[in-house]
Amino acid sequence: MMKDLSRRKFLEKVGVGTAAGVGYSLLGEWAEARAENPNALPTRTLGRTGAKVSILAFGCGSRFLMYEDEAEALAILNHAIDNGITYLDTAYAYGDGKSETRVGKVMAQRRKEVWLATKIPDRTRDEFLRRLEASLKRLQTDHVDLLHIHALLTEEDLAAIEAKGGVLEQIQKMRDQKMTRFIGITCHFDPSVLKMALERHDFDCTQMALNGALVGMEASRMVPNKGLKTSFETVALPVANRKQMGVIAMKVFAQEALLGGAPPEKLLTYTLSLPVTAAVVGMPKLEHIEDNVRVAKAFKPMPKEEMERMSGGLSRQYKASLDRFFSTHVDA
């Protein structure tokens, strides 16, 4: 079956580099394998949207762009879908439209099979509209399932989003006009500002940085750093849950920074044990898809005591550095 193939054999099997459009002309054997083994990934309901999506989402950001050959990238994305991943997370900022263009070439054939989310970074009404119109063309669809205001930063940034006649009004109009079915907002920077946004507005979904190292319940006592922030898990996540928003977790591995602190399967299991719908993961190698799908299929909630031990150790080692990193991190 496909999951047993090495990357080299995988590429040989799909014929990457041999023909135009090869990114999709690869699934005869995969379809047979799927029919033989119909086990799908576990799904959860995405909050008030009512949609069922896979608990593992495919991140189409910087890690997806690490596939330098486009045909290989398309083959990988198709392979992820064939392995039960139904949530695709992309954005204009990922390669200035490169990610959306790649995703669109797969969507031309497989749009109905997935939940498609993209994100817009602009903070003016007209630019926001122009950006989405261009994104829809790149994605080869007339609508996305979820449109996020991308990368909320500070209170000043939130004020700009909320300004009369601005981005917040525009994204609501886009939902009314069926350019997107649902709307959301993402944040990896400041939990308190995201909490403020979620309390004030009825977004359908939100996407936030959630991993064991960012919890740091005693961080203020452990690390004398005035810039140290509270966590999304303890500050923003409860608001999203209370308002029945769909919650998408990101930064599960903190841009790989946590891979030395805990096994990847433990990091993913920790995040999926939180009250979230799905975890977005970048998978720049074929084996990452295989490994993460295996973990998702075998998922069982991590006991609370184990979560506390794990987050305590990771927070002491990593939280201060991660807070500093994400304060300047550009989600692109």
Radius of gyration of the chain (CA): 19
- pLDDT on residue 1: 42
- Please answer whether residues 288 and 191 qualify as being in contact, where contact means their C-beta atoms are separated by less than 8 angstroms: no
- pLDDT on residue 180: 98
What angle in degrees, to the nearest 10, is found between the helix axes of 264-272 and 286-297? 50
Residues near 180 by beta carbon (within 8 Å), at least 6 away in sequence: 132, 143, 144, 145, 146, 147, 171, 174
- Please answer whether residues 311 and 270 qualify as being in contact, where contact means their C-beta atoms are separated by less than 8 angstroms: yes
Residue 88 CA to residue 251 CA, distance in Å, equals 15
Type of residue found at 102: R
- pLDDT on residue 327: 73
Per-residue DSSP letter, 149: E
- pLDDT on residue 3: 45
Over its length of 332 residues, how does the chain's per-residue pLDDT go in tens digits? 444 446 666 666 655 543 333 343 333 433 443 454 455 899 999 999 999 999 999 999 999 999 999 999 999 999 999 999 999 999 999 999 999 999 999 999 999 999 999 999 999 999 999 999 999 999 999 999 999 999 999 999 999 999 999 999 999 999 999 999 999 999 998 999 999 999 999 999 999 999 988 886 443 333 434 445 689 999 999 999 999 999 999 999 987 778 888 999 999 999 999 999 999 999 999 999 999 999 999 999 999 999 999 998 998 888 888 877 777 777 76
CA-wise closest residue to 167 among 128, 130, 197: 128
**Around Cβ 274, how many Cβ atoms within 10 Å?**
20
Per DSSP, helices labelled H in the chain are 7-14, 28-36, 70-82, 98-110, 125-139, 155-162, 167-176, 191-200, 219-222, 232-235, 237-242, 264-272, 286-297, 304-328
- pLDDT on residue 259: 86
